[in-house]
Amino acid sequence: MPYSHSDDTESSIRYTELPDGSRRVLAIDALRGFDMFWIVGGGAIVGALNRLGDIPVISGLRAQLTHVEWDGFRFYDLIFPLFVFIAGVSAVFSLSKARERGGEARAAKRLLGRGLLLFLVGVFYSGGLSQGLDGVRWLGVLQRIALSYTAAGLLFLYVPWKYLIGVAAGILVGYWLFVTQSNVRNIQLETAGLKTLATKTHQTNATPEALFAATTETVKGPTLPGLNVVNHFDFQHLPGRRYDTYYDPEGILSTIPAVATCLLGVFAGLILANPRMPIGGKSAWLFLLGCGCIVAGLGLSYSFPIIKKLWSSSFVLVAGGCSYLLMAVFHYVIDVLCWRSWAKPFVWIGTNALTIYLVNSILPWRTISERILGGPVAEFFGNGGPVIVTAGSLLIMFLFARFLYRRGIFFRL
């Protein structure tokens, strides 16, 4: 029976039986679905409401549903790291079960297989070979999730949790020192900056590569767009297509601190799976860790700014802290207070998050909604027409997720 609940008194973990007979931690799936909601429709509905007029609450929420240009932090900047964080939380449960059934080697083999498949799906999602080998985007959102999940998963399998804390701290401290203490060429890899440099040095026909090679002056530890060791490393070593032309926000070096983000999720998973900890105490620990990470991240930001495109150490801590707080709230409301009915739509999405994410790029939810609710229907509602059409597309997506859930169809890597 869908959504039936069972308690495991031995471990104090609250599981939920899914229609296919599997057991999942409901709060984790609900939080994953909540995260995905803002990508597949939540932002669009807020944008449509914002066009109705100047409503302070909606305008403020709309502002939070856009990325900062470079440094700073808004709610929308949390979406991606929250996915990485949840991957770490889930790894504790999935890999622990795999290890119990077949040992560490079998669990690691399964982890590597899943990671490779997700990486290849990410390459395909980013365009695959459609633009030739030089146009392949080798690193992107799904690829980063795959790499960080695989690395954090292997660490979880083979490194005791007490040492994992040191590993995560070492990654953050090492990355902070590396970025802020490295000497880099004093050239900003941005279109406007390169044009200015070419004009100034009378090399108007020079390629970016030639301008970069000709720059001999260095500067220590900058963190400006296109002027930092992370972006310069991508420019020199990342093959294929880069999202920001000269570098990629999901590039090579910035993937390393993403492993720390996933490890923060692993720590949350260890708390949730701890059989000796009272269930209410788990929410409290998650909350305290969240507050601690945010304070640490804000303090570090004075030396290493909060920059999502660099996945800076301060960004990892602030985003990780917010992820802990959300996990604490979802766990407390769903598993401690047992208020679950409101979470059903999020669980529908969360149990098939990857499917919804991929289908969202090829299935025209809005086109279908416009054919049903557009034209005279939208005109009837006047300025509210776009809201009706957007809400319709969101409803179609929810119904699709519910269809998969009710029939026990779960596509998981």
pLDDT at res. 57: 83
The stretches in the chain having pLDDT less than 70 are: 1-18, 20-23, 412-413
Q: State the Cα–Cα distance between residues 332 and 338, nearest whole angstrom.
A: 8
Token digits of residue 317: 């801590």
Token digits of residue 413: 């890597």
Assess whether 15 and 39 both reside in one domain.
Answer: yes
Assess whether 139 and 210 both reside in one domain.
Answer: no
Q: Of 193, 214, 237, which one is at a domain's C-terminal end?
A: 237
In a domain, 358, yes or no: yes
Q: Of 237, 271, 304, which one is at a domain's C-terminal end?
A: 237
Assess whether 147 and 168 both reside in one domain.
Answer: yes
In a domain, 91, yes or no: yes
pTM of the model: 0.92
Assess whether 174 and 189 both reside in one domain.
Answer: no
The sign of the dihedral angle between the CA atoms of 291, 293, 294, 295 is: positive
Assess whether 103 and 74 both reside in one domain.
Answer: yes
Assess whether 35 and 113 both reside in one domain.
Answer: yes
In a domain, 269, yes or no: yes
In a domain, 217, yes or no: yes
Assess whether 263 and 122 both reside in one domain.
Answer: yes
330: domain range?
A: 4-182+248-406
Assess whether 166 and 192 both reside in one domain.
Answer: no
What are the pLDDT digits (tens) for 365-401?
888 888 888 888 877 877 788 888 888 888 999 999 9
Scan for tokens 């449509």, then name that residue: 48
pLDDT at res. 92: 94
Assess whether 211 and 138 both reside in one domain.
Answer: no
Assess whether 145 and 192 both reside in one domain.
Answer: no
In a domain, 411, yes or no: no
The count of domains in the chain is 2
In a domain, 413, yes or no: no
In a domain, 53, yes or no: yes
Q: Of 209, 237, 265, which one is at a domain's C-terminal end?
A: 237
What are the pLDDT digits (tens) for 180-238?
999 999 999 998 888 888 888 888 888 899 999 989 999 999 999 999 999 999 999 99
Torsion, Cα of 168, 170, 175, 178 (10° steps): -170
Strand partners, 8: 13
Assess whether 253 and 226 both reside in one domain.
Answer: no
In a domain, 242, yes or no: no
pLDDT at res. 13: 60
Assess whether 113 and 191 both reside in one domain.
Answer: no
